[in-house]
Amino acid sequence: MKKVLKNIFIGLVFFFLFLPIIVLVCFSFNSSELNIVFEHFTLRWYYELFSNKQLIEAFTNTILIAIISTIVSTVIGTMGAIGLHKYNFPFKNTINKLLYIPIVIPEIVLGISLLSIYTLFKLELSIYTILLSHIVFCIPFVVVSVRSAINKNVDTIEQAAYDLGASNFQTLFLITLPTLLSGIRAGALLSFTLSLDDVIISYFTSGPSSNTLPLKIYSMIKTGITPDVYALSSILLLIVFIILTFNILMQMRSIGSDAR
């Protein structure tokens, strides 16, 4: 009896969690423009979506920004985490604590402050300012997730590499980075998804001619939700789903080698 109740409860949680997403995907194939009843299956909205030049541009922008900001912030963040672990310097503890501020600070505050910095330095708002902002707010997330993968064992492993004749450079690339891979991967994934769906910071730091997909969607729903937004969201969903599956497969591979 207890078990049945438990399963019903779990089922309900998942039902309410996924119901909106399922409805969204279904309506993206609905031939009716009004999303109240499902008429019949169509791919019309997807066709319309792909013929919409503005949307395609916003989409490419978003993907490009997400990829570049992920790469840059992962490199900087990883170096930062390793540096913070390895070296002692004045104010190290303060810097360690300060890192959490961009994570906990309301995004709107970060957006406004970035905007004011750009205005102060007379930087013209464009796709590049969005990119720069994304890199800035992704770095702390990477540092924190890489740092969680660093432990005392890593020090010993590095020492073992030196002991076996590896140079500092060889140790970093052959030993340290591969050992921290799980943390680096988590940080990169976090950066990518954060950048992909960021609205607030992008809103403040985008120029009049530059647009990202979340901003575009945001402006589209101001005039009521049209089925092409459903189609767009479904595509986004698919992308995230693919990345997630890829990540899970990678994780399963490393867990697989953990099993004795």
Partner 1 sequence: MKSVIVKLENVNKRYKDKTIIRDFNLEVYEKEFLTILGPSGCGKTTILRMISGLEPVSSGKILLDGVDVTDIGASHREVNTIFQNYALFSHMSVEDNIAFGLKMKKVDKDRIKKEVEKMLDLVKLKGYNKKYPNQLSGGEQQRVAIARGLINSPKVLLLDEPLSSLDYKLKKEMQVELKRLQKRLGITFVYVTHNQEEALSMSDRILVLNKQKEEQLGSPIDIYNNPNNKFVADFIGESNIFRAKVIKVIDRYAYVEIDLGKKIRIINKSYKVGDQIYIMIRPENITVGNRLSENSLEVSVKELIYNGANIRIIALFGNKEIKINVKNSDKVALKEEITISFNTKNISSFVK
Binding site for partner 1 (CB under 8 A): 153, 156-157, 159-167, 170, 175, 178-179, 181, 257-260
Closest C-alpha to 199, from 221, 214, 217, 211: 214
Cβ(158)–Cβ(171) below 8 Å: yes
Residues in the chain: 260
The least distance separating partner 1 from the CB of residue 172, rounded to whole angstroms, comes to 13
- Burial of residue 237, with CB atoms counted within 10 A of its CB: 0-12 exposed, 13-18 middle, 19 or more buried: middle
Of residues 30 and 179, the one with the C-beta less far from partner 1: 179
The least distance separating partner 1 from the CB of residue 154, rounded to whole angstroms, comes to 10
State the DSSP code for 123.
Answer: P
Of residues 124 and 258, the one with the C-beta less far from partner 1: 258
Of residues 52 and 170, the one with the C-beta less far from partner 1: 170
Closest C-alpha to 212, from 231, 225, 199, 224: 199
The least distance separating partner 1 from the CB of residue 107, rounded to whole angstroms, comes to 36
The least distance separating partner 1 from the CB of residue 147, rounded to whole angstroms, comes to 18
Alpha-carbon span 118 to 257, nearest angstrom: 48
Of residues 162 and 246, the one with the C-beta less far from partner 1: 162
